[in-house]
Amino acid sequence: QSALTQPASVSGSPGQSITISCTGTTSDVGGYYYVSWYQQNPGKAPKLMIYDVSNRPSGVSDRFAGSKSGNTASLSISGLQAEDEADYYCSSYTSSHTLIFGGGTKLTVL
Amino acid sequence: QVQLVESGGGVVQPGGSLRLSCAASGFTFSSYGMHWVRQAPGKGLEGVAFIRYDGSKKYYVESVKGRFTISRDNSKNTLYLQMNSLRAEDTAVYYCAKDYYLDGPAAFHVWGQGTMVTVSS
C-alpha cells in the first residue's frame, strides 16, 4: 500500500486560511470515512486534530476543519496563527485493514 | 488524564531482538484498540501494527510481517511490540497510540512520547 499524497509544503500569513490536500485511492481515502489528520511539532509526538473525515476531538480549535471528496481529503485551517506552524499528516483506513499516512506537509506561517 | 509511556528502546545489532512496552493509564485500556507507529529520523510517520481491544485481531505493515509481534496484557494495562530480525531500516522513534474506537483501526487518538530504537553494528 503506497503512502497517501500530500504537498510537501504550504504557507500562509497570519489571519489567512490554508488548505492541505491528501490524495489516495478507492482502496483507502475514497472507500472509507476513517480519515484523520495530525499535527506534529519538532521533537514532539503527533496530536490528533481531525478524525472520521470531519470530527474534531475535544480541545481542538474550530479553526481546523476536515472534508473529503472522492479520493481526496482536505484539512483547512482558518485564521492562521503562528502556533499553527508545524508538520501535518493525514491518515486513512485501507482495504488491508491498516492505517496509512501521507508523506506530511510542512506548514509555514509567514 | 490519559497517559501512554513507552520503554524498551535502545541500540541493537542487525539481526537482534528488542521488546518494547507501553504502560497505559487514565482510561479503560481493555476497551480500546492499540497501535505502534514509527518515525525514522527526519522522515514521516508509518503505522507498524494494530491490535484489537481483546487481542483477537492483529494487523501489520508489510515490511514487518513475520518479524514483529504485537500483543497486550489487559490485566497489566500494557501493550508490547516484540521485534526480531531487526534491520537498519527499522531505526526509528516508536510510538504507541490508543485508537479512537474499541474495534479500529480508525484513528490514533492519544500518543505516547516515543522510544528510540537504533539498529546498528
A41 touches chain B (CB under 8 A): no
A55 reaches B (C-beta below 8 A): no
Residue A1 reports pLDDT greater than 70: no
The answer to whether the CB atoms of A91 and B108 lie below 8 A apart is: yes
Partner B contacted by A89 (CB < 8 A): yes
Instruction: Say whether A45 and B44 touch across the interface (CB within 8 A).
Output: no
Question: Interface of chain B against chain A, CB under 8 Å?
Answer: 35, 44-47, 50, 57, 59-62, 95, 100, 105-114
Average pLDDT over residues B97-117: 93
Three-state SS at B116: strand
Q: Do B109 and A48 touch (CB under 8 A)?
A: yes
In angstroms, the separation between the Cα of residue A58 and the nearest Cα of chain B is: 11
Q: Cα A39 vs. chain centroid, distance in angstroms? A: 8
Average pLDDT for A49-59: 96
Q: What mean pLDDT is predicted for residues A33-47?
A: 97
Residue of chain B whose Cα is closest to the Cα of A8: B44
Tell me if B105 and A45 make a contact (CB, 8 A cut-off). Answer: no
Q: Does A37 score more than 70 pLDDT?
A: yes
Question: Are residues B94 and B6 in contact, defined by beta-carbon separation less than 8 angstroms?
Answer: yes
Backbone angles phi, psi at B70, to 5 degrees: -95, 140
If you count them, how many residues does chain A have? 110
Instruction: Report residue B103's pLDDT band, with 50, 70 and 90 as the boundaries.
Output: confident
List, in order, residues 6 or more apart from A107 with CB less than 8 Å away.
A9, A10, A11, A12, A18, A20, A77, A84, A85, A86, A87, A88
pLDDT digits (tens, 9 = 90+) for A67-80: 999 999 999 999 99
Q: Which residues pair with A50 in a beta bridge?
A: A37
Using one digit for the tens of pLDDT, what is the confidence trace for B13-63? 999 999 999 999 999 999 999 999 999 999 999 999 999 999 999 999 999
Closest CA to B21 of B95, B81, B67: B81
